[in-house]
Structure 1
Amino acid sequence: MDIGVDLGTSNVLVYVKGRGVVINQPSVVAYEKNSKRIIAIGNKAKKMIGKTPESIEVVRPLVKGVVSDYTVTERMLKVFIRSAMEKRTGVGRPKICVCVPSGVTEVERRAVEDAVYRTGAKSVYVMEEPLAAAIGAAVDIEEAKGNMVVDIGGGTTDIAVISLGGAVESQSIKAAGDDYNASMIRYIRRKYNLLIGEQTAEKAKIAVGSVYERPEDITYVVKGRDLIKGLPKAITITANETIEAFADTTSHILTAIHGVLETAPPELVADISVNGIVLTGGGSLMYGMDKLIKEKTGIDTYVSDKALEAVALGAGMSVDIAARKEEA
């Protein structure tokens, strides 16, 4: 009956013990402005972004890993958790472990906890994302050894040095996947006088987005509105030119990684130089992210096999541990 929830800015993943990740949907909600009636949640709502009439509003209830619209977040979670509970065996109310970025305030943490309690949970445990990501990526966090995890999500990038089951040094920065989308929109507007939407930018990022030069360049066709003529227009962008478009966001992430390494205890940094850096989250799948971090830090860097699901898996696996700690 244990459920792990990765409450992300871009996606909500729900892990059910014994079943794995049963829900992986965008954290997007569409509702009628007047009646506040919810029309669509998840994939259906995401397809509506930028295409709705005035009477319908499409929102992301989580901004930069923080609950921005409490009521909508609660209603979205209820739908996802109920759907997940239909896929499990057993009865009764579940124990839920939910993840938050490492830099959230006590008020923000409480807002997430309350929203999850209202879905009908028996007990709620709030866990920091980098810890959950490390567990989900099969890193032994209980050892007296330093491990470094970089979780590049949609709204935040969480970096932590973990040892003996806790984060010794951590930092959460608001530079992540959504910022790469915004950088793509700005770059194409500046260079090609073409205005594109958020969804188009995300598709282009997934198709050709790179932070490190590719040996064989690839291209992608982007469609939008010509800002001079006001008419539809298509242009072709290459993977290697996205490196320039993404430079600002990438340098923020690299600076934060350097910062955490600089302030971490030297014994743990020595361990990290042997064990390497583990990358999780959707942003880690960008071409060359591991190569770039290795080049800039001199430390071997690996992308987890379960990069997208690591936080939800770790949260689900941690419910028992968290429950035992509370009982003790």
Structure 2
Amino acid sequence: MNHDIAIDLGTANFLIVHQNEIVVDQPSVVAFDRMTNKMLAVGNEAMQMEGKTHDNIRTVRPLQGGVIADYNAAEMMIRGMMAMVGLRRSFFKPFIRMVVCIPSGITEVEKRAVEDSAETLGARRLYLVHEPIAAAVGIGLNVEEPEGNMVVDIGGGTTEIALIASSGIICNQSVRVAGNTLDADIELYIRNEYHLLIGQPTAERIKQSIGAALTDLPESRREYEVKGRDLLTGMPKQIVVTQAEIAHCLDKSLSKIEESVMKLLEEMPPELAGDIFLRGMYLSGGGALLHGLDKRLSQKTHLQVHVAEDPLRMVAKGAGLTLNNIERAGYLIK
């Protein structure tokens, strides 16, 4: 049997590719018993507990900004996710080759934490690949040719903007403004404007349902019922918010992503600028699903903006394709 796997260590979602299939796609959340520190749940089950636990249970998101922030929690979460693959752990130790996606702006300390986690899982050979390159491979771009490709990968913790050519990143911008930042913006807006306290899961559902990058979209009058706790009375309360409101509250964070995109365009070598003018840029990651984001970036840059098919899984798909061509992939970090 082939025991090689590829992992997308996402801040919001954790994906594992095995034998050309995504076999695990779960939220990057783990729940512990506070008294014994025993893992109680991982993935979807742990996410359902988030914000609803009593004093003896704590939920943790061990990945922040696309990197490991809580090493022990991350190791236990990864073990729990690996168990979902359906192979006995004894198989992994002697045979496994592992491809892990990492942010392009990762530090050496953060990189070492990923390597240590892979070693504890018994990885015989570890390969690292930068997320923008994995996303480009998943989209179907030829990253090994000298022509330039521009990818904007908007994940849960970071937005990775990269110009890729000849199996490497020519220039890049990594900004820690992404899906989680947008959730926090929505929470703050609902709290300040309506004096209603909501949790991160509710803010994420609002973003997914009526989140938008522009206030003048045709569907800007769409509404969403929000339930939470009234900060003035302490009682449960329901309000209605519109898509235009949400677009307004997300504007400041989206402007930071725009600024990073413009900065990269200003830094790129002139010989590759022509390639980007012809090909445009590609959006991947969960943030690419935000209504009107492609239109907003196109208006700002005057370039074509393409949204990847199934952007949430594009990095994992690229990691899986890399796994199949591991001997010939010149962009791997060994």
TM-score (norm 1): 0.95
Deviations 1:293-314 (A, max 9, x none): 1110000001100311111111
1:37 maps to 2:41: no
Pick from 95, 99, 102 the counterpart of residue 101 of structure 2. 99
1:297 maps to 2:320: no
1:215 maps to 2:224: no
SS at match of 1:246: helix
Aligned residue type for 2:43: G
Select between 37-46 and 111-120 the one with higher mean Cα deviation: 111-120
Q: Residues 160-309 of structure 1 correspond to what in structure 2 (within 5 A)?
A: 160-212=162-214, 213-216=216-219, 217-309=221-313
1:9 is displaced (CA, Å) by: 0.6
Give every structure 1 segment of 4 or more consecutive aligned residues whose post-TM-superposition deviation is greater than 3 Å.
320-326
1:79 is displaced (CA, Å) by: 2.1
Aligned residue type for 1:299: L
Deviations 1:199-240 (A, max 9, x none): 111111101000123213211000111111111110001111
Identical aligned residues as a percent? 42
SS at match of 2:5: strand
SS at match of 2:75: helix
- Distance verdict in 2 for CA 1:85–1:168, change over 3 Å: farther
Distance in 2 of aligned mates of 1:5 and 1:275: 29
1:82 is displaced (CA, Å) by: 3.2
Does the 8 Å contact 1:147/1:271 carry over to 2? Answer: yes
- Distance verdict in 2 for CA 1:85–1:263, change over 3 Å: farther
Aligned alpha-carbon RMSD (Å) = 1.7
Distance in 2 of aligned mates of 1:105 and 1:85: 33
1:57 maps to 2:61: no
Distance in 2 of aligned mates of 1:5 and 1:171: 23
SS at match of 1:308: helix
Aligned residue type for 1:46: M
1:321 is displaced (CA, Å) by: 4.3
Give the corresponding residue for 1:48.
49
SS at match of 1:171: strand
Aligned residue type for 1:96: M
Distance in 2 of aligned mates of 1:117 and 1:286: 37
- Structure 1: tracts of 5 or more residues without a match: none
Distance in 2 of aligned mates of 1:110 and 1:17: 27
Distance in 2 of aligned mates of 1:246 and 1:229: 28
Deviations 1:117-156 (A, max 9, x none): 2112221111111011110111111111111000000000
1:165 is displaced (CA, Å) by: 1.2
Pick from 121, 139, 146 the counterpart of residue 148 of structure 2. 146
1:72 maps to 2:97: no
